[in-house]
Chains A and B, each alone.
Chain A
Amino acid sequence: MKYIDEFRDSGVVRALARRIGTLAGDLGTIKLMEVCGTHTMSIARFGLRSLFPENIELTSGPGCPVCVSPQSFVDKAIAYCRRPETIVTTFGDMIRVPGSSSSLEKERSGGADVRIVLSTMDALQIAVSNPEKDVVFLGIGFETTAPTIAASILAARGKSIGNFAVLSGHKTMPNAMAALASDPEVRIDGYICPPHVSAIIGSDAYLFLAERYNKPCAIAGFEPVDIMQGVLWLLEMIATGSPDVRNQYSRVVTKTGNPEALRILREVFTPKDDEWRGIGAIPLSGLAIADAFSKYDAEIRWPVEAEPQFIPPGCICGRILKGTAGPRDCGLFGKACTPDEPVGACMVSSEGACAAAFKYG
């Protein structure tokens, strides 16, 4: 078993679609949110939307790390690019996100030392190879990614690497989902939960959404069969009025998640209130570097001043991230804003809702 093709069987996808169609017939308009940006891409790439009846709407959520990082984070990253004797290391997704007046890519072509890495351990290696430079890693991502950054901070301490620090923009999912669940403007009937966040935090982390907010949650993998089954399970819970957390991705996700990753995450980071693009401040939805590791906190170690914020007029990334508008509701979509010349973050990231809509139609 290679765990991929087995979950792409088109016969099974069609059977699940028929079952969804039968069940949906008795329900009114249902709006489900796929929280994770990789789900958004998968749904677009495999054309799954066309398999659902008209009254079942799937909307993208705030699960694209690049998209939800506020402008202030991008501007701070740009300020680090302009700091002398500094190397900025980042995951590739971040490089083209427009800040208020620039982007990491533009700074790089202007001479800044900005390097794309696939893992924080590569950023740490850059610090080792460049002892005379200050190396800043742009920490973005949710509970899936944050433990890997935590591990690199522990490794930096273990190996006494003194010229490495992280600008933490890490965010955590359950409280953001709760914020959307209690926002009267956002009407979501159920969540397809982010599978690899769930691999770390476990399925029990969503129970409060079912119990306190009456939102059914289905954790589903990224393959077409996974997503179809996740949608079917959500509709079953909606039809019977019994919100719960159901774990379709049981081959990876357990009830309590990955204990070692959570231990490392909680050792290095501490929860803080945080700002999400479009959604605003959400209590305890971000991760700050814990006091014991302040030496590895770029904002404490090497403070910089970001430029005043400018959000381009017409950009509705914020509403798209909340699920209250779709890419095609934006006047800039496909005209002033394209993957080649992005205006908003949702068009930049490969898993942004606008990029997915542009690429796959």
Chain B
Amino acid sequence: MCLALPMKLTSLEGQSGVAEQDGVMINVNTTLLPEAKIGDYVIVHAGFAIQLLDEEEARKSIELFREIAEQEPPE
């Protein structure tokens, strides 16, 4: 039930917005994340945006994965 997806906030009026991922649009409430703005990627759970996605942190993680993949000898 804690499944929550990263979605892009495409519109927002007051605390009611619409978020999209791969063509799927859903209504999202931003009461719990007042700093969210149009264009942000947010984690959406049970109709609410609950946290922002941090692009810089995501890039750092991906870089770390790539380093590991390069260091490990192939099978």
Binding site for B on A (CB under 8 A): 1-4, 6-7, 9, 11-12, 14-16, 18-19, 36-38, 41, 63-66, 91, 93, 118-122, 140-142, 144-145, 147-148, 151, 154-155, 194-197, 199-200, 222, 225, 229, 248, 250-253, 258, 260-261, 264, 349, 351
Contacts and interface: CB of A to CB of B under 8 A. Distances in A.
Given A2-B6, A258-B32, A260-B31, 15 more contacts: A1-B41, A1-B55, A9-B69, A37-B1, A38-B1, A64-B1, A122-B47, A141-B1, A144-B45, A147-B32, A151-B29, A196-B3, A252-B43, A252-B52, A253-B51
Given A19-B68, A258-B51, A145 B45 contact: yes
Contacts, number: 146
Contacts of A12: 65-66, 68-69
Interface string B24-41: 000001011110000001
Given A19-B72, A148-B47, A151-B48, A1 B58 contact: yes
A179 to B, nearest CB: 19
Interface SS majority for chain B: mixed
A65 B1 contact: yes
Contacts of A64: 1
Contacts of A2: 6, 21-22, 41
Contacts of B4: 144, 196, 199
Given A121-B29, A122-B47, A250-B61, A145 B69 contact: no
Contacts of B46: 91, 118-120, 141, 145, 148
B63 to A, nearest CB: 11
Residue with the highest number of chain A CB atoms closer than 10 Å, among B21, B57, B73: B57
B18 interface: no
A144 B46 CA distance: 9
Interface residues of B, number: 38
Contact of A119 (B33, B47, B68): B47
A145 B32 CA distance: 11
A200 B62 CA distance: 23
B69 A11 contact: yes
A119 B75 contact: no
Nearest to A232: B68
Interface of B: 1-4, 6, 21-22, 29, 31-34, 41, 43, 45-48, 50-55, 57-62, 65-66, 68-69, 71-73, 75
Contact of A4 (B6, B47, B61, B73): B6
Contact of A38 (B3, B32, B71): B3
A7 B62 CA distance: 8
B46 to A, nearest CB: 5
A1 B4 CA distance: 17
A248 B60 CA distance: 11
Contacts of A253: 51
B29 to A, nearest CB: 6
15 contacts: A2-B21, A11-B69, A15-B65, A18-B73, A91-B1, A122-B47, A147-B32, A147-B48, A148-B32, A148-B47, A196-B51, A199-B43, A200-B50, A225-B65, A264-B32
B1 A93 contact: yes
Given A3-B58, A200-B50, A261-B50, A63 B29 contact: no
